[in-house]
Structure 1
Amino acid sequence: MSEIFDNAITSIALGIEDFETGTDERMLSAARNYYAGLLLLAKECLVRAAPKADAMEVIGAKFKPKPDGSGGVEHEVEGYATVDLHKLKARFKDFGLAWPNADINKLQRFRNDLEHYHLKEPMTALSEAIASSFPMVVDFFNILNEDPQTNLAGVWDTILEKREAFEKVQEKCLDSLENVAWPAEVSHLDRMACPNCQSSLLGQLDPDNKDHEHVIGKCYQCGEEISFEKFMEMVVASSYEVDAYIRAKEGLNPSIADCPECNASAYVETGEISLCFVCGESVAGECIRCGAGIDVNEYNSEYPGLCSYCAYMAEKMMRE
């Protein structure tokens, strides 16, 4: 086994042992050790994908050009710093490796807060962040063709137990949301985060409610109740934020907008969907003057039947 792999196993095992105690002091250590172990496992995946290369040539963070003596240059590792999470993901893509589909961003943010000696969220949220990232361990071990149960024998039962407990609560939360008759398609609701503790364990206050207009959110980690309007904004963001990002990159109007009727950031505009999740308002239609399509980005509340161009011309004529 390589030194990187050995260090990864040691860090993860220490992190889980700290995690088992549940005390605030040990949870801080758990976050540091466990996060470091995950990154080391990822680095080992890269190193094994290029077995003939020096490890630092694969995971080094800084390189400098150096003349190769033949009129060209070669890149030499500078220092001993290795890649961070962002660069790890990029190198996985470059190496043709699949990055695990699990949430490590919360754990990273917690670890960064701890480095500055301040954790904003409760320890229960940190515990969830660790538990929800457990699938990454399995995925990395699959890439390495190693057995996690054998290598992490001392803590493997804890990993399975904590993950199972987290998944049971999460399943109940998501089931309560799947019962709702949403006004349009929703997705990725497990990626929502409690505004109080950042937990993803969000469901309905009334799990049996099916009417989307009566949805009140509840965090099953800290107990926070989330108002209808705020929860709808969160649902829209989780469901359409990625689409909004892609559209923005392509120079298109975003798919999420402030509603012209109620001002909530819950109006969805995709071309196929045009409505507000809070008040139900839909401004989609055709311009009564030129027949052009009207969506929320074209809509002018002072000239509701006109597209933006015709509204501009009408306003110009009135000024003249």
Structure 2
Amino acid sequence: MAKQYGPTDIKESALDLIGNTPLIALDRIWSGPGRILAKCEFMNPGASIKDRSSLSMIKRALNSGQLKPNGPIVEVTSGNQGCGLAVVSAVLGHPLTLTMSAGNSPQRASMMRALGANVVLAPQVEGKPGNVTLADVTQAENLGLKLVEDTGAYYVNQFNNDDNSKAHEEATGPEIWRQTGGRIDAFLATVGTAGTFAGVSRYLKKQNKDIVCVVVEPAGAEVIKGDPVTKPLHLLQGSGYGKVPQLFKFDTMDSTLGVSDEEAVHYKELLGSKEGLYLGYTSGANVAAAVKLLQSGKLPKDAWVVTLLNDSGLKYPADV
């Protein structure tokens, strides 16, 4: 007699681990009134929200023929997109070369290399370790474009790739809507490429135009707000580069909030000590902004505010 087995639940690859992240209530940091709910994007296999856009951009490039099966890929990154692309490239069999500023955290370079990527570091021209400016990113971009020219590799171009924001309009936004049962008063997010904010806010506004969508910016680098840049060096790696990103659209933004380095560090530490979550600085900034919004009195007292826990604290040096 053949053995009888129960149902199985086996994932075929790391790509099946991307997305469908839990939504957690941060009730220990903010006990009310209102509630802060956060998407656990650090639980993606590349330990950040960028896994979502990495999978979207590569799959769509393959489907359109821009990228050939097993063809080489080049991208410029601050680290998280590179880690996501390295996960996807490892599974799908693409040689991947990533250029990154030497000022971005070495932990990210180590992770990308461990996932099989070739990592080329561009020297810093303006910032310092842990503080990367637009000029530093431009240096890494020039290096990446030269590699594309020399090799003919597919250039992902995350800052100008619409498939970046589509990942969040088609998946992240619907997940948030489903997990809250449609009860969401506000959404907040830091902005790097703007793919996440653009995609999620676009989806949420289609469900309910009254959902308040707020951009979180580093204090002193609030260009989306319209202020001049007075502090190009800040701790929020991967965001606040000092110019409005190509993918950003003002029509789904209701307002902005600035967060200082000190506030980002404070809430990063609270996420660890009160919620048991070891996360990066943009996660701290998102939570700091959520607290500010709830304290502002601009929302109903019982408001549910959703934000993102973007990446793991393991991607940063212990001291900055």
For this structure pair, what is the TM-score category when the shorter chain's length is used for normalisation?
under 0.3
Highest RCO, 1 vs 2 (Cα 8 Å, sep ≥ 6): 2
Report the structure number with the largest CA radius of gyration: 1
With the length of structure 2 as denominator, give the TM-score of the two structures.
Answer: 0.26
With the length of structure 1 as denominator, give the TM-score of the two structures.
Answer: 0.26
Give 1 or 2: higher strand fraction. 2
